[in-house]
Structure 1
Amino acid sequence: MGLLDVINLDVIFGEAPQQVHAVKGVSFSVREGESYGIVGESGSGKSTVLRAICGLAPVSGGAIELGGREVVSPRGRDFYKTVQMVFQDPYASLHPRHTIDRVLAEPLAIQGFDNREERIERALSDVGLGPGFRFRFPHQLSGGQRQRVAVARALILEPKVLLLDEPTSALDASIQAEVLNLLDRLRAERGLTYVMVSHDLAVVAHMCDRLLVMQHGRAVEELTRDALRARTATTDYTRQLLAASEGYKPAEPK
């Protein structure tokens, strides 16, 4: 049993005959302090798994457990104090008419946190943004800065688990590296647990201890980082995914 356990998860959208069975019997377990990756082609169901965990997609079958306890719907305040999500598009996930101060203050107000001024300043500092960013609007920030704000918003409630849905795919390559290094540092400093969805195997090889490969809503196989780097996949689909990753070169173990 891990900190986060997904057990035979099914996600179904709509009603017959137009039903879409997006996730089919997926199971995995994430240990405390681990960074766990989910990879697959577009439409494989990987992002839907994250959305089901955080309550944005229906759990049609199976169960999700956090700390050994089944997560119920709708998600309560305690769940969101423990689990937060960072979305793919840093612009779409921030309200365009809210200042960064308001973006960060709202979750603190909802959860009843005190010392809000200090928490906002510390959250911005932790992601490498100074106090000068506090009263700017999202359109006044670069893509990388917006994603840093999204990370600050997720971390301001001091969660244990971050769900990362393609957190760098909308960013330029140089900015991607900055955000990934930031996430790496924060996990080390805070003992965070990550579940990261990505189509980029180089990102997963850098960030994740283990990964799950998905295809057509199903789990195909689970690999360790070393197995990914050595390309020792056991299924044809994973081998094809590795071969199709243009420019992907496994990093040498340190």
Structure 2
Amino acid sequence: MSAHLDIRDLHVTFHQGTQRVQAVRGVSFTVAKGASYGIVGESGSGKSTVLRAICGLAPLTGGQVFLDGKEVSEPRDAGFYRNVQMVFQDPYASLHPRHTIDRVLSEPLAIHGFSDRDRRTETALRDVGLGPRFRFAYPHQLSGGQRQRVAVARALILEPTVLLLDEPTSALDASIQAEVLNLLDRLRAERGLTYVLVSHDLAVVAHMCEDLMVMQHGRAVEEMTRADLQAGRAKEDYTRRLLAASEGYTPMETPA
């Protein structure tokens, strides 16, 4: 199966005064259409920076990004954002506190010239399990799980084909995490979406992803399948240590 998203030799370097920080060093991976791919590693491993570089929020200092076989331009154009959207870690920080949910959802529609915004807004809220009563609420009036559902609705309202998920449940209570993960699973199945999920939580990755990459110090250490992860089969010492550090985690029930 041809790659839907193809990342080749990605490099990201940040400059802080006289210092150069190589956040991502030569990372490559491919994701087939409709698949879910995980990126795991400790804090500071560069995993979130990979997502930000793909969507144009971090400076790409080397490498190429291909979507459906076509190289993505720098800077990203409107067509890219119609196809690729990102869901961030903190649902409160990613929503403007003084904007109603209606404005949060209608702004991308206006930017991209969509018509029938009322219908699309109501449909987006319904698709993520929120009713019309949430439309004119403010973020502070919603729970963390409800805010993250709004963030997912905002990402989906342009009908993209790829979602980049940056620790989408780590800011939520454990009781709410499974609800949001199940929502994401359902939306992927219904819409044939392609996911790239960043997480430090191996249980989340085992639940959501068929394949994954382990990162350390900006580099890809190894790639594994879900079966490898669940069986603890690792080739590299760092991956074995990461798995050992997560001993005792309870794998969520994986989709059939």
TM range (shorter): over 0.9
- Counterpart for residue 200 of structure 1: 201
Residues 168-226 of structure 1: per-residue CA shift (max 9 Å, x gap) = 00000010000000000000000000000000000000000100000000000000001
**Which residues in structure 2 correspond to 1:1-254 (within 5 Å)?**
1-14=2-15, 17-250=18-251
Please give the alpha-carbon distance, in whole angstroms, between the structure 2 residues aligned to 1:109 and 1:100: 14
Please give the alpha-carbon distance, in whole angstroms, between the structure 2 residues aligned to 1:221 and 1:250: 21
Which amino acid in 2 is paired with 1:67?
A: D
Q: Determine if contact 1:163/1:194 at 8 Å carries over to the other structure.
A: yes
Residues 77-107 of structure 1: per-residue CA shift (max 9 Å, x gap) = 1000000000000000000000000000000
Please give the alpha-carbon distance, in whole angstroms, between the structure 2 residues aligned to 1:14 and 1:246: 37
Q: State the secondary structure of the residue aligned to 2:103.
A: helix
Q: State the secondary structure of the residue aligned to 2:106.
A: helix
Please give the alpha-carbon distance, in whole angstroms, between the structure 2 residues aligned to 1:56 and 1:252: 33
Question: Post-superposition shift, 1:246?
Answer: 4.6
Q: Determine if contact 1:213/1:219 at 8 Å carries over to the other structure.
A: yes
TM (norm. structure 2) is 0.97
Please give the alpha-carbon distance, in whole angstroms, between the structure 2 residues aligned to 1:155 and 1:161: 9
TM (norm. structure 1) is 0.98
Please give the alpha-carbon distance, in whole angstroms, between the structure 2 residues aligned to 1:165 and 1:112: 27
Question: Post-superposition shift, 1:22?
Answer: 0.3
Identical aligned pairs, as a percentage?
75
How many residues are matched? Answer: 254
Instruction: Tell me how large the CA RMSD over aligned residues is.
Output: 1.2
Q: Determine if contact 2:101/2:134 at 8 Å carries over to the other structure.
A: yes
Please give the alpha-carbon distance, in whole angstroms, between the structure 2 residues aligned to 1:45 and 1:196: 13
Question: Post-superposition shift, 1:73?
Answer: 1.4
Q: Determine if contact 1:228/1:250 at 8 Å carries over to the other structure.
A: no
Structure 2: stretches of 5+ with no match in the other structure: none
Residues 126-178 of structure 1: per-residue CA shift (max 9 Å, x gap) = 00000000000000000000000000000000000000000000000010000
Question: Post-superposition shift, 1:124?
Answer: 0.1
Which amino acid in 2 is paired with 1:107?
A: P
Which amino acid in 2 is paired with 1:101?
A: D
Q: State the secondary structure of the residue aligned to 2:93.
A: coil
Measured at CA, do residues 16 and 68 of structure 1 come closer, stay the same or move farther in structure 2, by a change above 3 Å? farther
